[in-house]
A and B are shown apart, each in its own frame.
Chain A
């Protein structure tokens, strides 16, 4: 299917059918592959046993289980926060990237972490400009707090977030010279999208935020610098302050549509223009839920469209999904600093988005340089003897789960981490090449994993 026919397919979709709960049938069964697809998109993949558990229930139960709070979530949160606090002592944002990688690898709530990554790309803030690690982590905690929940509260918080204001050159906003940066991005990138506001709205909205400052790395309102005059923002007139202005923006009809369109691209398919008609139902649900995200998430992840064969081939794995997916899929552990650095080198530095628009995603993840970089990163990680699989060697792990023959290992990798099976010829070549991948069984299995993970089809998620 080429790009135009994909668009035609999408335009012709019946929204009612698209968002109906997925009902398994003989032609579209709820099985391991379907559960693996769900867990790859909603989180970062999972190991064989976890996917089998998810596949053993109904699709709706699987979605609920993925989005539910984990029993040991709070304990992990404490450990993880303690580790981050410790790392903050060095005030180096680069070490925070490693701390986040650790969370991604070990969190019992990977779907939540996946959404935190989504919001990090949405409310993009770069540590290269903010510099203060503590501020970056503070923002990250806030995003985690609201990731599944209240978008309104999250947007209000981001409007006062020191890291965001520093990143957008908005540490000072005087009434004599309103700073338009945050006001513009609030409407264009965070809530409404282009075409849903005017330049006049930007100017008026900026006036609402006057007096909002960052001093000594903390947000404060300078009442002497606030423009207390009347403003007209998005057709509403009054003596608005910043909080009221954010509420006005959030109340716009375009807002839920804008968020749902981004979520659609993140969870279901990128590289297509989503028709407004298709997004109206999830957007309406978001609105009716007072901008609480969870119901809309469940709708999307449990839908016919999500489980359709069309949607399964419509995403390219981000660097984080590529690496963390592989690691989680095979219960692997390694040096988090190295993973963070590797992910950054192939285009997704955690806490280091490229600009205020965040990561474009989709085909932008792949070019000749990053494709090679992806293969090299996987090679470095997989070949590193410090990378353990279920606390030991890969061959031992595969033996335990009865997948230590090369063909069985390839089958496992395909089931866990790939949407499309390898072409027969490639598969056969890999099996025949197995003895050449290394001197011993461990090296051969690691070589095989690297070879599989370097295939073009492995890049689809």
Chain B
């Protein structure tokens, strides 16, 4: 039974009583605290199930420890930049604060963090009250009391109101007004901070009454979402259905875009937001890798009109990717381009569709009247893969001053015999068109030729070298390219260089395959070859640093050196999008170079 009376000290002014009346509009008769706090109790048990967004760190101290002891942190500390940063006055100031803090709590700040947050830290947004609550669970009530007193004092000091705290009790727990809106309450080893009195009261009531039936922890969406990010250091949950119902940011759920590239890359992700009830986000850090993952509920029944993205059954897998030496990036996506083109009226905005209609007419003309969507893109099997490799440059050819990596795209044809001819002819026309434009601008011309090496055939083009060999040493950027279109069986490769086109056609699909069944898309970056490409262009980077920062050459070299050192700490990075029976999962993983 709840009472309308308010317990407060006579020392506090009447105004504060009124203020707390907002926070504490009802006090139950039984204000006693649970004698033996439940160690298994989580923040989600205390929060109402109407929470629409939630994030927590189950082991904050562990995460901080991992960061501080991480090999990357150690390397940065030992670098000249790190050494310089360690001597910054701001860091000394921070160290002094920490020493003061440690003196107050009588333990090291690491121990304090472990003690104060041993049961996790969370932040939640509640829809009905529109309140935000932060809940911290410590190892014991005594330490939590110490910590909260110190935190309160710090906040008061910052607000220039030291000793003017407005304190009251609610259900036997101390409660403080820390600013005009924010309140803080201590419930044994729990610390609660909220900007909304109703939400604060609800949480304390749940704790005091041990009424967890209507809690977030019992919410099936929350439970399903958290399962997807169970092992993460930082976890988040969003009740997408509730947010959709609140009509927050409706443009996200509109389902159409005016950006064709964005639709191609992320259309399925955005489309799924129209239907998914929840989403989860997780962040995980270990000595080996850093991982960011997101998952949302996914029902293959709801994929229309994005069957081009997921396949008819919603579980299509991207094509395999070849592997070549010095590969710095490769990727693969399942996309049915022909289907996407024809579905574009459902995917794109009206303006974008008008532009696409014009493009369709132009492209249809370019392809001798064959319908671009139906006959050209439709002649390709779903799926596209690509690769970027660093180039080696011969001294027997013009050496470009800026050295770019080579890249290639591979698709597979449904009817190779018919389609090969069409694409070969269009490629030749395109090179001819480029030559006309280049000639008008005084740029180098492309020389066309044909390729035939075993099963590989195609059309290749190379830039005519400058007449004066003096000009070969610092040739224009064009000399990075020898655009080529190569065919091998039903495979078609469009590459920036002839070497890569040939190598890609001759290479077998990657074994073991980087792409696993269920992978809708995958991108992989290898850092060492990226470093090689940057190294080839070190002079350009140094010059740019000199101009941008006004450095001398030595300082610019040092700055670029830091960039290379930073790169050397990373091994590779992978971005993955996959579907399983119930979820659409997106993950990014960056792996570090480890001594093992």
Contacts and interface: CB of A to CB of B under 8 A. Distances in A.
Contacts of B550: 102, 105-106, 332-336, 388
B415 to A, nearest CB: 43
A105 B549 CA distance: 12
B547 A102 contact: yes
Interface stretch (B43-51, B263-271, B454-462, B538-546): B538-546
Interface string A68-101: 0000000000010011011111110001001100
B401 A89 contact: yes
A99 B540 CA distance: 13
Interface in B536-566: 539-540, 542-543, 546-553
Contact of A336 (B467, B547, B552): B547
Interface in B310-339: none
Q: How many residues of B sit at the interface, in one of the four size bands?
A: 20 to 34
Contacts of B539: 82, 86
A86 B467 contact: no
Contacts of B401: 85-86, 88-89
A216 interface: yes
A225 B467 CA distance: 23
Interface string B458-477: 00000000011000001011
Nearest to A336: B547
B540 A89 contact: yes
Contact of A102 (B400, B540, B546): B546
A86 B538 CA distance: 10
Task: With a 10 A CB-CB cut-off, give which of B540, B550, B552 has the most chain A CB atoms.
Answer: B550
A217 B470 CA distance: 14
Interface string B557-577: 000000000000000000000
A364 interface: no
Given A88-B401, A89-B476, A89-B540, A83 B548 contact: no
A85 B474 contact: yes
Contact of A89 (B467, B477, B546, B549): B477
A383 interface: no
B224 interface: no
Nearest to A387: B550
B343 interface: no
A458 B543 CA distance: 33
Contacts of A253: none
A99 B547 contact: yes
A427 interface: no
A79 B401 CA distance: 16
Contact of A86 (B468, B543, B549, B552): B543
B593 interface: no
Contacts of B474: 85, 88-89
Nearest to A338: B548
A105 B540 CA distance: 20
Contacts of B468: 218
B401 to A, nearest CB: 3
Contact of B467 (A82, A216, A388): A216
A386 interface: yes
Nearest to A79: B553
Contacts of A99: 547
A85 B539 CA distance: 10
Nearest to B552: A106
B402 interface: yes
B558 to A, nearest CB: 13
B476 to A, nearest CB: 6
Interface residues of A, number: 29
Contacts of A335: 547-550
B477 A90 contact: yes
A456 to B, nearest CB: 28
A337 interface: yes
Interface in B394-437: 400-402
Nearest to B553: A79
Nearest to B548: A335
B547 A386 contact: no
A424 B330 CA distance: 69
Nearest to B547: A336
B476 A91 contact: yes
A82 B546 CA distance: 11
B440 to A, nearest CB: 12
Interface in A219-251: none
Contacts of B400: 89
Given A89-B474, A90-B402, A333 B551 contact: yes
Given A86-B539, A88-B401, A90-B402, A337 B547 contact: yes
Nearest to A78: B553
Interface in B134-193: none
B546 to A, nearest CB: 6
B196 to A, nearest CB: 34
A106 B551 CA distance: 10
Interface in A91-121: 91, 95, 98-99, 102, 105-106
Contacts of A386: 549
A108 to B, nearest CB: 12
Nearest to A102: B547
B552 A98 contact: no
A218 B542 CA distance: 30
A98 B547 contact: yes
Contacts of A89: 400-402, 474, 476-477, 540
Nearest to A332: B550
A455 to B, nearest CB: 26
B470 to A, nearest CB: 11
Nearest to B400: A89
Contacts of B551: 333
Nearest to B402: A89
Interface string A378-395: 000000001010000000
A105 to B, nearest CB: 7
Contacts of A105: 550
A85 B468 CA distance: 17
Contacts of A332: 550
B89 to A, nearest CB: 12
B540 A86 contact: yes
B359 to A, nearest CB: 29
A290 B162 CA distance: 84
A83 B402 contact: no
Contacts of B546: 83, 102, 336
- Pick the most buried of A83, A86, A102, A333: most chain B CB atoms within 10 A of its CB: A86
A297 B336 CA distance: 73
Contacts of B442: 131-132, 217
A83 B547 contact: yes
A91 B471 CA distance: 13
A117 B171 CA distance: 81
A459 B553 CA distance: 32
B547 to A, nearest CB: 4
Interface of B: 400-402, 442, 467-468, 474, 476-477, 539-540, 542-543, 546-553
7 contacts: A85-B474, A86-B401, A90-B477, A132-B442, A335-B550, A336-B546, A386-B549
Given A90-B402, A333-B549, A334-B550, 9 more contacts: A86-B540, A86-B542, A86-B543, A102-B550, A106-B550, A218-B468, A336-B547, A336-B548, A336-B550
Q: Which 9 A-B residue pairs are closest in the complex by CB-CB distance?
A: A333-B550, A89-B401, A86-B543, A336-B547, A83-B543, A89-B402, A79-B553, A98-B547, A86-B540
